[in-house]
């Protein structure tokens, strides 16, 4: 009984020792999920506003661009969710192992993708 209690106690100690870091990791994960939802929402908003506008003289190029903006926003949102999941799992293990590494590559990839979507927005606005 004594050995089992100490083994169980050691596992609890490891989990509770880093509880603040694990809670911060969960908050960060949820922030990434909210960001992904916002990215997809902007794509849906632009697409919806474009196709429900009363101006029927819009060039077909703008129809293509707004469809591309909507599609790329959804793809970027899904990509952000996937990176959030993998980042959460990686940080979960690195917290317990005390071997934290920053998420440089995923942040750079998301930033580049957002810049590309912003360029599409700019081209769309210029064509209006």
Q: Is residue 93 part of a domain?
A: yes
Q: What is the largest CA-CA distance in the chain?
A: 81
- Cα–Cα distance measured from residue 93 to residue 80, given in angstroms and rounded to the nearest whole number: 20
The burial of 16, by beta-carbon neighbours within 10 Å (0-12 exposed, 13-18 middle, 19 or more buried), is given as exposed
Q: Is residue 9 part of a domain?
A: no
Q: Is residue 2 part of a domain?
A: no
pLDDT grade for 56, boundaries at 50, 70 and 90: low
Q: Is residue 12 part of a domain?
A: no
Q: Is residue 15 part of a domain?
A: no
Residue keyed to tokens 């700019």? 122
Domain count, the chain: 1
Parent domain of 103: 20-127
Q: Which helix (H) or strand (E) holds 27?
A: helix 19-52
| 26 token code pair | 């969960």
- DSSP letter (8 states) at residue 41: H
pLDDT tens readout for residues 84-115: 999 999 998 888 888 877 778 888 988 998 89
pTM of structure = 0.75
Q: Is residue 84 part of a domain?
A: yes
pLDDT tens readout for residues 108-124: 988 998 899 889 888 88
The answer to whether the CB of 27 falls within 8 A of the CB of 86 is no
Q: Is residue 5 part of a domain?
A: no
CA 84 vs CA 18, 35, 37: distances in Å: 20, 10, 12
């Amino acid at each position: 009984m004594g050995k089992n209690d100490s083994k169980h106690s050691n596992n609890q100690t490891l989990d509770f020792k880093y509880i603040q870091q694990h809670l911060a990791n969960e908050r960060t994960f949820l922030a990434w999920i909210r960001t992904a939802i916002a990215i997809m929402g902007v794509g849906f908003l632009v697409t919806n506003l474009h196709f429900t506008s009363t101006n029927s003289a819009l060039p077909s190029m703008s129809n293509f661009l707004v469809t591309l903006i909507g599609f790329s926003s959804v793809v970027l949102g899904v990509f952000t969710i996937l990176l959030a999941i993998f980042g959460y799992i990686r940080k979960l293990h690195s917290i317990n192992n005390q071997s934290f590494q920053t998420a440089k590559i995923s942040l750079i990839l998301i930033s580049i993708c957002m810049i590309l979507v912003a360029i599409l927005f700019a081209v769309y606005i210029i064509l209006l």
